[in-house]
Structure 1
Amino acid sequence: MSITQQLIHNAGTYWQDYIHHSFVQQLANGTLPKACFQHYLKQDYLFLFQYNRALSLGLYKAENFAQMKAAHEAISALLHEIQLHIQFCESWGIDEQTLFSTEESAACVAYTRYVLDAGMTGGLAELYTALAPCAIGYAVIAKHIVEGDVSPATNPYQAWIDTYAGEEFQTAAQHAIATLDALCADLSEAQLTKLQSIFNTATRMESAFWQMGLDLS
């Protein structure tokens, strides 16, 4: 079992609550209220902005040019994803000005600032561990939905599912796993215990983000 697999396994109910959250289940079967999805999309735009700030720490924390190149590529990919997200939001009746004027939810603030703090106070291992539940979890969730064949033919959220189940995002998730495994290969038990705490907390924050969507909070 790789280090990343151990982090997921040891997260236990935190991870299961995240990938099987009611928001995810309703999205999978097409019953998620439109208002909940729209609220999630607006907050996800704000999340992606802060997520890119966190990724930028990967450049500063890099210990060699290979790590710097990997961080640069991740930042470039996310900047492209943000543009696609804006277009996707427009298809759901959310224009760019609305995104710009949306106030960050408490769940978004708590999650993203936690990730930034983990990155600023730690090294690359701490940073990428805090980012991992999002980078890996969305791929796992979408793959489960597709393989479980629970999504109806007329699911209004199929485009979202297809994006994260698609080859590009699945490949990116595997790359995130390989990167984290490499960073953690020579860490001590004490360091791995710290990373487990970070991973658990970030995973709990992901569940809170789903709940924010359901609650319209």
Structure 2
Amino acid sequence: MANWYQTVRGKSDFILEEIKDHPFITELIKGTLPKDVFQYYINQDSLYLSEYKKILALLSVKCTSTEDALFFLNSATGIINVENELHLTFIDKSNFNKEASPSCELYISYLARIANNHSIEEGLAAVLPCFTIYKEIGDYVLAHQSNKKDNPYQDWINTYGGEDFENSVNKAVEITNRHAQTASDEKLKNMEVAFAKASKLEWMFWDSAYNKEEWKI
């Protein structure tokens, strides 16, 4: 399949549209997102990224191409830099919660299970939405802003709308497409399922942040 990503991207477009229309994103664009909601999000995102970088490192070990392996290792390192810079700018250390929310726990557990127990192709498909959806949402937010000079979340927005992140996204897509070209029909089906589930988990992550999700018991 020459462009596997474009095919599955089209099938899952409704998920991206739901994210764009979510109050978290619409209020982020306006700069009216409550600070406590953004704090909750950044807190959970930090917990998520601390595990996501390990999953990317695991995928690098599974890659047969040295170039691909280096890409995922560098991506994992880049996440560390984001944590050290952007997250430390926004995180309220005095109120930092070390417990992952139910949706955050589900997301990282799902990615870890696929990366550890399934094929490299499925692993690549599962981690891809975190690249592509963030890029598309970053672009969408930047394109619909009229308050870039006074939006309190502008530094965060710029991170995912920048050129460096775009290059990383394009490389992740290219690697996944290349693996899809030689994948069996069964693996292609499993890749599509993994991509769709991870995309839905992206929506759940935004939604859980907006509602400051807690464990019910």
The reply to whether TM is greater than 0.5 is yes
Residue aligning to 1:202:
198
Aligned-pair Cα RMSD in Å: 1.9
> Identity of counterpart residues, as a percentage?
24
Residue aligning to 1:170:
166
Q: Counterpart amino acid of 1:69? A: L
Q: Which moved more, 1:113-122 or 1:150-159?
A: 150-159
Residue aligning to 1:61:
62
**Residue deviations 1:33-84, cap 9 Å, x none?**
1110000000000000110111121133122433322222222222222212
How far apart are the structure 1 equivalents of 2:21 and 2:36? Answer: 20
Match of 1:127 among 105, 123, 126: 123
The 1:151/1:129 distance shift into structure 2, 3 A limit, reads farther
Are residues 1:84 and 2:82 paired?
no
Residue aligning to 2:24:
23
Give the superposition deviation at 1:16. Answer: 2.1
Are residues 1:70 and 2:71 paired?
yes
Q: Secondary structure at the match of 1:175?
A: helix
Are residues 1:139 and 2:135 paired?
yes
Q: Counterpart amino acid of 1:118? A: I
- TM-score scaled to structure 2, two decimals? 0.89
Unaligned runs of 5+ in 1: none
Alignment length, in residue pairs? 212
How far apart are the structure 2 equivalents of 1:135 and 1:70? Answer: 13
The 1:64/1:152 distance shift into structure 2, 3 A limit, reads closer
The 1:175/1:59 distance shift into structure 2, 3 A limit, reads closer
Give the superposition deviation at 1:89. Answer: 2.4
How far apart are the structure 1 equivalents of 2:188 and 2:199? Answer: 16
Q: Counterpart amino acid of 1:16? A: E
Give the superposition deviation at 1:111. Answer: 0.3
Give the superposition deviation at 1:98. Answer: 4.5
The answer to whether the Cα contact below 8 Å between 1:45 and 1:82 also exists between their aligned partners in 2 is yes
Q: Secondary structure at the match of 1:198?
A: helix
Are residues 1:43 and 2:39 paired?
no
Give the superposition deviation at 1:19. Answer: 3.8
Give the superposition deviation at 1:216. Answer: 0.8
Q: Which moved more, 1:66-75 or 1:121-130?
A: 66-75
The answer to whether the Cα contact below 8 Å between 1:29 and 1:152 also exists between their aligned partners in 2 is no
Give the superposition deviation at 1:12. Answer: 3.5
The 1:188/1:120 distance shift into structure 2, 3 A limit, reads same
The answer to whether the Cα contact below 8 Å between 1:10 and 1:196 also exists between their aligned partners in 2 is no
- TM-score scaled to structure 1, two decimals? 0.89
Give the superposition deviation at 1:151. Answer: 4.4
Unaligned runs of 5+ in 2: none
How far apart are the structure 1 equivalents of 2:179 and 2:211? Answer: 37
The answer to whether the Cα contact below 8 Å between 1:3 and 1:181 also exists between their aligned partners in 2 is yes
The answer to whether the Cα contact below 8 Å between 2:42 and 2:87 also exists between their aligned partners in 1 is no
Match of 1:107 among 103, 107, 132: 103
**Residue deviations 1:125-184, cap 9 Å, x none?**
211211111111111111112223454642211111111111111221111111111121
How far apart are the structure 1 equivalents of 2:65 and 2:21? Answer: 38
